[in-house]
A = this chain, B = another copy of it.
């Protein structure tokens, strides 16, 4: 879907890496949380509490998921899952637009 309806949007941004990664928190009708974010070119590492589903809406990047030896290459759109209580690395080559979901257990 291209938009979220009946959602609650937190006004203030979440800001990481001096603004090179930013997102907005959206609470969906069913109580699920997603963040809509932008990553500018650079190298980043993020930790997870619970599991995350990262949907890349657009971008050119590589991702190294926990337990994997090889970087996955993404150009355009793609989705990857990150286990909870872990971390993953990103190499962003072009402005990347994403939607991250935090599914409830």
Binding site for B on A (CB under 8 A): 1-13, 15, 18-20, 22, 24, 26, 36, 38, 40, 57-58, 95, 97, 99
Is A8 touching B19 in the complex (CB atoms < 8 A)? no
Is A12 touching B18 in the complex (CB atoms < 8 A)? no
User: Within the oligomer, what is the number of copies of this chain?
Assistant: 2
Q: 20 A-B pairs, CB-CB below 8 angstroms?
A: A2-B10, A3-B8, A4-B9, A6-B7, A7-B7, A7-B8, A7-B9, A9-B24, A9-B26, A12-B57, A12-B97, A13-B36, A13-B38, A15-B97, A18-B95, A19-B38, A22-B38, A24-B36, A38-B38, A40-B40
Complex-state Cα separation, A10 to B24, whole angstroms: 12
17 additional A-B residue pairs with CB within 8 Å, beyond A2-B12, A4-B9, A6-B6: A2-B11, A3-B8, A4-B11, A6-B8, A7-B7, A9-B9, A9-B24, A9-B26, A11-B99, A13-B57, A13-B97, A15-B97, A19-B40, A19-B95, A22-B95, A24-B36, A40-B40
